[in-house]
């Protein structure tokens, strides 16, 4: 196909991933030409290459996974698209534009874990029981690792390893993220007292909620509530002012 944009001697520093969401390009490196279409993931250490983009261009996510355990290939490597990885990529692209930091972190952890599995030759998506367990956490009411292991009939060690292998984070961290997400939704959608928000989201008490939100989001429950629905805050403040008069 005709190419309108050409980069010669294009380079990145350090380990990076280029994931094609839409469109595509062809690349020339030391091993010849490679075609990267929608869903393709290119993994490389620092390298120089030539890129030709098609007339429609390309929408790509460029990730620099600093601090991860992702294995850097000796030469640039292209992962062919598969349904599970491409679905994750589209979700990550969507969340990067619209979602909270926690949702972006959660999806990027899973995406990098699935990339590593494919670099290792393990393409299978998470087994059904593990996907159901994760949904149980996300829809649940603050369960524990021990309860989950008993409920799904797996050993705690096997559960922890399988969860990290497929989702790129520890089960305990995901449980904490899920509690913070539930608290965030409650703060956005209700006027419940903070102590009730903490209990409903699965925290031990209001202090536990405050510490967790400050650690995860850099803010307090009251400040987050004001940010999520400032109009209600203004209405309440206006009503108080009228009463004071």
- Residue 241 domain-assigned (yes or no): no
Q: Considering Cα of 17, then 48, then 10, then 5, what sign does the dihedral take?
A: negative
Q: How confident is the model at residue 97 (pLDDT cuts 50, 70, 90)?
A: confident
Same domain, 158 and 103: no
Q: Residue 151: which H helix or E strand, with range?
A: helix 145-152
- The pairing of beta strand 16-29 with beta strand 41-44: antiparallel
* 167 belongs to a structural domain: yes
Place 139 in a pLDDT band, splitting at 50, 70 and 90: confident
Query: Residue 184 falls within a domain, yes or no?
Result: yes
Judgement on whether residues 132 and 69 belong to the same structural domain of the protein: no
Three-state secondary structure along 155-224? CHHHHHHHHHHHHCCCHHHHHHHHHHHHHHHHHHHCCCCHHHHHHHHCCCCHHHHHHHHHHHHCCCHHHH
- Domains of the chain: total: 2
pLDDT tens for residues 165-185? 999 999 999 999 999 999 999
Q: CA-to-CA distance for 25 and 211, rounded, in angstroms?
A: 46
Q: Which residue range(s) make up the domain with 31?
A: 3-115
User: Could you tell me the CATH number of the domain that includes residue 133?
Assistant: 1.10.10.60
pLDDT of residue 143: 79
Residue pLDDT, tens place only, 28-54:
877 778 889 999 999 998 878 888 887
Stated pTM of the model: 0.84
Q: Identify the H or E element spanning 53.
A: strand 47-63
Residue 194 lies in a domain: yes
CATH number of the domain to which 96 belongs = 2.60.120.280
Q: What is the pLDDT of residue 236?
A: 47
Residue 238 has pLDDT above 60, yes or no: no
The answer to whether position 237 is within a domain reads no
Name the domain boundary from 96, 115, 134. Answer: 115
- Tell me, yes or no, whether 174 lies in a domain: yes
């Amino acid at each position: 196909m005709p190419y309108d944009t050409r980069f010669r001697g294009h380079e990145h520093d350090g380990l990076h991933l280029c994931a094609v969401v839409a469109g595509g390009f062809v690349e020339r490196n030391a091993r010849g030409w490679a075609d990267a279409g929608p869903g393709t993931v290119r993994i490389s250490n620092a390298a120089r290459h030539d890129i030709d983009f098609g007339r429609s261009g390309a929408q790509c996510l460029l990730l620099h996974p600093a601090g991860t355990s992702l294995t850097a290939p000796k030469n640039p490597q292209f992962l062919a698209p598969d349904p599970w990885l491409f679905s994750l990529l589209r979700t990550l692209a969507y969340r990067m534009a619209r979602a909270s930091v926690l949702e972006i972190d959660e999806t990027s952890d899973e995406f990098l874990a699935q990339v590593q599995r494919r670099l290792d030759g393990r393409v299978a998506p998470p087994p059904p029981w593990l996907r159901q367990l994760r949904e149980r956490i996300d829809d649940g009411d603050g369960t524990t690792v021990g309860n989950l292991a008993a409920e799904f009939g797996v050993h705690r060690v096997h559960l922890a390893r399988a969860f990290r292998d497929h989702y790129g984070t520890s089960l305990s961290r995901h449980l904490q993220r899920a509690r913070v997400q539930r608290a965030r939704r409650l703060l956005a959608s209700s006027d419940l007292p903070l102590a009730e928000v903490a209990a409903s989201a699965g925290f031990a008490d209001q202090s536990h909620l405050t510490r967790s939100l400050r650690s995860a989001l850099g803010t307090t429950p009251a400040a987050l509530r004001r940010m999520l629905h400032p109009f209600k805050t203004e209405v309440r403040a206006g009503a108080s002012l009228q009463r004071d008069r």
